[in-house]
Copies of this chain bind each other. A is one copy, B any other.
Amino acid sequence: MSTPASQQPSPQLFFQTMNAHQRTEALKAGIEFEVFTAIGEGNTTVAEIAKRCHASEKGTRVLCDYLTIMEMLTKQGDRYGLTLDSSVFLDKHSPAYLGGAVEFLASPMITGGSKYMVEAVRKGGTAMPDDGTIGPDNPIWVTFARAMAALMDLPSQLMAKLVDPNADRKLKILDIAAGHGLFGIAFAKNNPHAEITALDWKAVLEVAKENAQKAGVADRYTTIEGSAFDVEFGSGYDLVLLTNFLHHFDAPTCETLMRKVHAALADGGRAVTLEFVPNEDRVTPPDAAGFSMMMLTSTPSGDAYTFSELERMAANAGFSRSTLHPLPPTIEQVVISEK
């Protein structure tokens, strides 16, 4: 982290950062105009892209140049092209298209917190009304369930294979804050003996049930409506899934929930937590560590927890042992806590 003595000070990073908000807007504009899809279809000059996207040639040229500077497009002479990432994730004709995630990631409920970052830093939690994203029945989670499913397809499959590699025995699984339902559904697809109980707000569960139907596992899919902190879980579960959930709450709240999870597990059962897990230094790896800022600005007391913090919560809740498992190529990790 030290600076070589030979280096000259430069205001470049200051300017780039002051203008970083333009990058977010340019990506959103590129997706909204379907610039990536247009180029994937073979429209590669400014004139061709502008026509396909119903935009001005001037605006198209500036946007495409800016996306090239952002390394989301390539440019050779007067022709633009897609990068590998853009062709896979930003072209609507790609099965891995992620553009829909913008509806969640750029929603006022998520970006709004960032606008009041100063107040959030001052008080130590979101400055948005009604507890930010975690208020009861917040409609943002229906948006989330619809917008983020495509993104969770790969991680959910990787997690099911990590946790249930043999897929040869009956598993009773509780999927807490199921959202789109993809994590529970991946276990059900991976193992024909798995039975899933999905828990979330009622409106969100409608999305999960649709996805279970599409995946052909609806006959092994039941639901519990309400808050994970209030409703009865039932008991005898082999696995309880906590995917992208704990980061919304403070450590004592997480521990309270983990105690309830512990009680709902059968002997030998496991809690499976998917999280952004920073290293103990809290500043690496950058994407997982940086997630703490989104929790600061959008929740009253959420955080990105280190493994030692997650381990302590589980231990305090009665779990005998927790282990950390990377889930490449995703930036999240899995913590398996044994009853």
User: Which residues of A are at the interface with B, using a C-beta cutoff of 8 A?
Assistant: 1-3, 7-29, 32-33, 54-63, 65-66, 68-72, 74-76, 81, 83-85, 87-90, 96, 98, 101-102, 105-106, 111, 114-115, 117-118, 120-125, 151, 281-283, 286-287, 289-290, 292-297, 301, 303, 329, 331
A51 CB, min distance to chain B CBs, angstroms: 13
19 more A-B contacts (CB under 8 A) besides A59-B124, A65-B289? A1-B81, A9-B96, A11-B85, A14-B85, A14-B101, A15-B105, A15-B331, A18-B102, A19-B24, A22-B293, A22-B294, A32-B118, A33-B118, A54-B122, A56-B122, A58-B296, A59-B122, A63-B121, A69-B283
Do residues B55 and A121 form an inter-chain contact, with CB atoms below 8 A?
yes
List 20 contacting pairs A-B, 8 Å CB cutoff, sorted by A. A1-B75, A8-B329, A9-B89, A13-B70, A17-B23, A17-B70, A18-B27, A18-B106, A19-B294, A20-B20, A25-B114, A25-B115, A26-B117, A29-B121, A55-B122, A56-B122, A58-B124, A63-B296, A68-B283, A69-B290
Chain B residue, CB-CB nearest to A5: B84
Main secondary structure of the interface of A (DSSP, over half): helix
Do residues A281 and B70 form an inter-chain contact, with CB atoms below 8 A?
no
Do residues B84 and A9 form an inter-chain contact, with CB atoms below 8 A?
yes
A239 CB, min distance to chain B CBs, angstroms: 26
Given contacts A16-B287, A75-B1, contact A24 B21 (CB under 8 A): yes
Q: Which residues of B contact A18 (CB under 8 A)?
A: 24, 27-28, 101-102, 105-106
Chain B residue, CB-CB nearest to A4: B84
Q: Which residues of B contact A62 (CB under 8 A)?
A: 121, 292-293, 295-296, 303
The one of B3, B24, B32, B60 in contact with A84, judged by C-beta atoms closer than 8 angstroms, is B3
Do residues A293 and B26 form an inter-chain contact, with CB atoms below 8 A?
yes
Given contacts A66-B292, A75-B283, A114-B22, contact A85 B123 (CB under 8 A): no
The one of B13, B20, B69, B114 in contact with A286, judged by C-beta atoms closer than 8 angstroms, is B69
Q: Which residues of B contact A20 (CB under 8 A)?
A: 20-21, 23-24
A143 CB, min distance to chain B CBs, angstroms: 14
- Measured in the bound complex, the distance between the Cα atoms of B66 and A21 in whole Å is 16
- Measured in the bound complex, the distance between the Cα atoms of B80 and A125 in whole Å is 21
Q: Which residues of B contact A61 (CB under 8 A)?
A: 282
Do residues B24 and A17 form an inter-chain contact, with CB atoms below 8 A?
yes
A250 CB, min distance to chain B CBs, angstroms: 9
The one of B33, B83, B115, B283 in contact with A121, judged by C-beta atoms closer than 8 angstroms, is B33
Q: Which residues of B contact A26 (CB under 8 A)?
A: 117, 293
A282 CB, min distance to chain B CBs, angstroms: 5
Do residues A124 and B57 form an inter-chain contact, with CB atoms below 8 A?
yes
Do residues A74 and B1 form an inter-chain contact, with CB atoms below 8 A?
yes
- Measured in the bound complex, the distance between the Cα atoms of B83 and A54 in whole Å is 45
- Measured in the bound complex, the distance between the Cα atoms of B53 and A123 in whole Å is 12
The 7 A-B pairs of least Cβ separation, nearest first, read A56-B124, A59-B121, A58-B124, A1-B74, A9-B88, A3-B84, A20-B23
